[in-house]
Structure 1
Amino acid sequence: MKTNQQQGLLVKDVSEMTGLSRQVIRKWEDRYGIICPKRHENGYRLYTFEDVSTLMKICGLREKGHTLKESLHLVRSQHIPEAVPKEPLSEYVLELLEKGSNYDEAGLILLLKQAHHRHGLENFLSNTIQPLMLEIGKLWENGEWDESQETITSLVIRDFLVQIRRNFELEDGAPIILGSCLPNETHEIPLHIILLQTMMHGWQTIAAGPSPKLSSIEYLVQRLKPKKLLLSATTTIPFEQDPCLFEKLEEIAARNPYTEFFIGGHGVFSHEVFLAPKRIRIAYSMEDVLN
């Protein structure tokens, strides 16, 4: 089927032009109504170049630091800022990076405690931990940090977040969210950040840890019977190691209908494996899980 400006663009064309997966394009279309493609007589969605422009605007705003919700609002209101200045790194982040580069575990712990006490949990996560992890990732990718600097600093941060979770007080009978990395996924700090955010909304959380077996994940679901299961994929490695992983997760979800299954993370959004999710919901934001 040929495509041109008069006839319309297929979703594969839009995907190539925007860099978004077909799944994400359809999810934004169905869930948020930000674009409304017409239908060809054979059933294919037909997009316009204006649709492509809209999607590119959203992508540009997200790259500049806006959340998806903020980006959608700005595009709908046609208030597109020319430039969104990047927030400078806080003094705590800069000092934490210095301590990490010098393998100073005690210094890292002290600074984390100070930042947590000063800002409170919500701002501590958004203003200190998240930008800190982004900077660590950049230093690692650029070769400015070696493996030991990245590992030691990440372990200190992980242990600190776990300690906060363990000491978080909740009402008796709070609903349970089980959080788990996927098999072959070892980056667990993003999962702990999300679990802490759900705790601030009244959820009891349990973490399965990095790279569990599928059998272990299902055992925990059957044993704990959580209201929700949140699966985290920071990288695409789990899907590269097991191309049938998503289908296997769908089977687990089918056997455990009392638990809502969610999956999210950069590894999910950049990997086109979700052709037709049936039981697992893809979480693009915290609102998707909580609502």
Structure 2
Amino acid sequence: MNKKRTYSIQQVAEMTGLSKQVIRKWEDRYGIITPERLDNGYRIYNEAEVARLQQIIVLTEAGHSVKQAAMLVQQEEEEQVEQPEVPTDQITYFLFALEEAGKLADDQKILHLLEQAHHLFGIEVLLQQIITPFLRRIGELWCEKKWGEYQEAVSSQTIRDFLANLRRRFHVPEHAPLVVGSCLPKERHEIPIHILLIQCMLRGYRTLMLGPAPAPTAIESTVRLTNPSIVLLTASTQAVWEDEGQAIRAIDAFAKTVPHIKFFIGGAGIQNTPPHFQLEAIQEAHSLQDIFSN
């Protein structure tokens, strides 16, 4: 990000939709931004400060107070600064060891390695640099017929159980906004939604996950009962298109009736969307940035 480019408070107000009074209030009361002052006393803001204000807006719209949002943004920035770079050879070791344990279908060894990596590197590194690449490797070995069903099932199930337990142990305040995560109907691969929900919890959200292959009505009733801020839907396979997307259309029609709730859909299973298939209320997302920048 180019921090040399600066903006006046009027420009920042136009970019963020905040009034100049609110911008000054957030600066003074919460220390969200610390703009420089020109000789004439006018404030000037850099791009990092504008981005920080936009993050605060997203979090407050999701249900956080301004104070809570400011703390979350500050915490995330501090974690990014303090996060040590993990040596490549350590990541390589864990990926090799996990593959060897998976080859033997040794669930206890896989679990031990995941726990060890969690304690050494933290959650973000574990998810992005170890679990996600290992899952891809499991898929490759399965497709190449180098692994059988038992090896694939034990490895995947152990990862799923580890992630589910990690979510249960993760404390988030009861008043935090809620994210509901679910596989799409007919989709049984639930590991991606576990990963997404853990990443949401790291950003201060409570989470609720539905089981694999839920009925569209189950998703609808859960959303009506819990009134979440965000609903995340995923599909890893093409099974969701067996009915020509009718289940997804039903969820989309429901999403239109609750416009205050943001619905997102993602995963490899939706990359080959049938021709002329359009969603009106559900947004497609390929990353957390797509979700939290909307």
Q: Normalised by the size of structure 2, how large is the TM-score?
A: 0.67
**Which has the larger displacement, 241-250 or 155-164?**
241-250
State the distance in 1 between where 2:248 and 2:174 align: 34
* Residue identity in the other structure for 1:159: D
**Which has the larger displacement, 229-238 or 167-176?**
167-176
State the distance in 2 between where 1:273 and 1:266 align: 16
State the distance in 2 between where 1:210 and 1:226 align: 19
Written as runs of structure 1 = structure 2, the 5 A alignment for 1:1-291 is 90-272=92-274, 275-291=277-293
Deviation of residue 251 (structure 1)?
1.2
Question: In the alignment, is the contact (CA less than 8 A) between 2:174 and 2:206 conserved in 1?
Answer: no
Q: Percent identity at matched positions? A: 36
Q: Normalised by the size of structure 1, how large is the TM-score?
A: 0.67
State the distance in 2 between where 1:274 and 1:283 align: 18
Question: In the alignment, is the contact (CA less than 8 A) between 2:220 and 2:251 conserved in 1?
Answer: no
Once the two structures are superposed, what CA deviation does each residue of 1:25-79 show, in whole Å capped at 9, x if it has no partner? xxxxxxxxxxxxxxxxxxxxxxxxxxxxxxxxxxxxxxxxxxxxxxxxxxxxxxx
Question: In the alignment, is the contact (CA less than 8 A) between 1:283 and 1:289 conserved in 2?
Answer: yes
Question: In the alignment, is the contact (CA less than 8 A) between 1:225 and 1:258 conserved in 2?
Answer: no
Once the two structures are superposed, what CA deviation does each residue of 1:95-142 show, in whole Å capped at 9, x if it has no partner? 111111112111111111101100100001011100000000000000
State the distance in 2 between where 1:114 and 1:237 align: 35
RMSD: 1.9
Question: In the alignment, is the contact (CA less than 8 A) between 1:221 and 1:256 conserved in 2?
Answer: no
**Which has the larger displacement, 145-154 or 167-176?**
167-176
Question: In the alignment, is the contact (CA less than 8 A) between 2:178 and 2:206 conserved in 1?
Answer: yes
* Residue identity in the other structure for 1:272: P
List gaps (5 residues or longer) in structure 1.
1-85
Deviation of residue 89 (structure 1)?
6.1
* Residue identity in the other structure for 1:90: T
List gaps (5 residues or longer) in structure 2.
1-87
Question: In the alignment, is the contact (CA less than 8 A) between 1:253 and 1:259 conserved in 2?
Answer: yes
**Which has the larger displacement, 242-251 or 156-165?**
242-251
